[in-house]
Amino acid sequence: MDIYGDLNSGNCLKVKWLCDYLARPYRWIAVDTMNGGSRTPAFLAINPVGQVPVVVLDDGRALAQSNAIIRYLGRDSDLVPGDAYEAAKMDEWLFWEQYSHEPYIAVCRYQMVYLGRPVSSLDPDKVTRGHAALDRMERQLAITTYLVGDAPTLADVALLACTRVASEGGFDLTACPAIRRWIVDAERALGVA
Amino acid sequence: MDIYGDLNSGNCLKVKWLCDYLARPYRWIAVDTMNGGSRTPAFLAINPVGQVPVVVLDDGRALAQSNAIIRYLGRDSDLVPGDAYEAAKMDEWLFWEQYSHEPYIAVCRYQMVYLGRPVSSLDPDKVTRGHAALDRMERQLAITTYLVGDAPTLADVALLACTRVASEGGFDLTACPAIRRWIVDAERALGVA
């Protein structure tokens, strides 16, 4: 299996981490998204949306969208709860991550780290919504060890990727002790360095 | 099962349509989101995020995020492909819908229909990204009858909800014959009036 990704992207790290956790072999194909690598004709033939990550399975079929990819690759693993309702709660976090977390926290980090913009230039609405996302995680992780209970799931894989580097986007985690505790636990459980 | 929803919201219609399609009984509890109905203490106790739709199962457990809900309620139905890769492609569309379609097309419609703003007031970036989303759907639906092939899936349930009223958000579907053909086919297949 080929994984087309950029190690600077949390969405790409999700896929790499999961494959490493599952000991699933892959070939990592670095795409330099900052310099148009995801907009070349060759790449657009693989993913017309022009986004990483995308995986190409051994039979040549492609799959995009980070959370759809980890949902597929991890479907028979211990990172998906056997109980249907708990699996649905995992999906609830996965969809929430893409709608209410990534567009704020990852985008602010992108603007600061890769575009070199100061924290003062960030869109105040994005900052407010990013803090709301962290607040929701903090309240959950004050109650449960992981997002869906006492064991890690794909929801932790997905949220860990953006959250552990939130401070690089101007989001201070000092006031979020449960999130900081969870980052340590999730990194250890998932084998993330 | 109780469904808390607002019939003006495409995200809520997904859940209603699926339950009607599956002939699954439910009680519809109207939430007036335009007048703070999703921000009351009683509602926030059900969904701390303050969003509709949310379902409360017969055992009292709640589930939010429209696509996680339809993924759960439809999990054993003919709207989820039996093949794991095809199911993953369905998930790819579901995550894409929440990241690259709903935030532009549904939000523009919301601003025009419910906030009464003129089309000229829309954020040009949202308009551009909305057109890109429709362009992607048009290219797929020129090839396949439904988004994931020859049979409808949950991806069609999700995308139909926002796309069929795209014109109310200023997105003209005249130049999208494949989408217009698909809307008719999907409405018929899913029994949507």
> Which residues in chain A touch residue B89, judged by CB atoms under 8 angstroms apart?
63, 68
Q: How far is CA A82 from the centre of its chain?
A: 22
In angstroms, the CA A164 to CA A192 distance is 11
What are the boundaries of each domain within chain B?
2-73, 84-190
Q: Give the β-pairing of B62-64 and A27-30.
A: unpaired
Band of pLDDT at residue A90, cut at 50, 70 and 90: very high
pLDDT in tens, A103-112: 999 999 999 9
In angstroms, the CA B103 to CA A106 distance is 16
- To the nearest whole angstrom, how far is the Cα of A120 from the nearest Cα of chain B? 22
DSSP 3-state percent helix, strand, coil across chain B (nearest 5):
55, 10, 35
ipTM of the complex: 0.96
- Cβ of A92 and B65 within 8 Å? yes
Tokens linked to A184 = 């340590």
- Helix ranges (H only) for B97-152 are 107-109, 124-141
> Which residues in chain B touch residue A65, judged by CB atoms under 8 angstroms apart?
91-92, 95-96, 99
B84-190 CATH fold: Glutathione S-transferase Yfyf (Class Pi); Chain A, domain 2 (1.20.1050)
CB-based contact B24:B16 (threshold 8 Å): no
This model's pTM is above 0.90: yes
- Cβ of A91 and B84 within 8 Å? no
Q: Please give the C-alpha separations between residue A110 and each of A6, A87, A102, A161, B170, in angstroms, as whole numbers.
A: 13, 30, 11, 13, 30
Mutate to test the interface with A, among B92, B140, B147 (most CBs of A within 10 A): B92
> Interior CA angle at A138 toward A8 and B51, to 5°?
90
* R_g (Cα) of chain A, nearest Å: 16
The neighbour count for residue A49, using CB atoms within 10 Å, is 17
pLDDT in tens, A57-81: 999 999 999 999 999 999 999 999 9
A136-148: average pLDDT:
98
The enclosing H or E element of A136 equals helix A124-141
| A·B CB contacts under 8 A | 86
A1-17: average pLDDT:
97
Per-residue model confidence (pLDDT) at position B193? 82
- Which residues in chain B belong to E strands, given as ranges? 2-5, 27-30, 54-56, 62-64
Per-residue model confidence (pLDDT) at position A193? 82
Residue B98 touches partner A, C-beta closer than 8 Å: yes
> Which residues in chain A touch residue B66, judged by CB atoms under 8 angstroms apart?
95
- Cβ of B84 and A72 within 8 Å? yes
Per-residue model confidence (pLDDT) at position A88? 98
- A55 - beta bridge partners? A3, A63
Q: Is residue A18 packed enough to be buried (19+ CB in 10 Å), middle (13-18) or exposed (0-12)?
A: buried
CB-based contact A165:A109 (threshold 8 Å): yes
In angstroms, the CA A52 to CA B60 distance is 39
Q: For B146, which DSSP code?
A: B
B2-73 CATH fold: Glutaredoxin (3.40.30)
The low-confidence residues of chain B, meaning pLDDT below 50, are none
Tokens linked to B121 = 């007031």
Q: Is residue A79 packed enough to be buried (19+ CB in 10 Å), middle (13-18) or exposed (0-12)?
A: buried
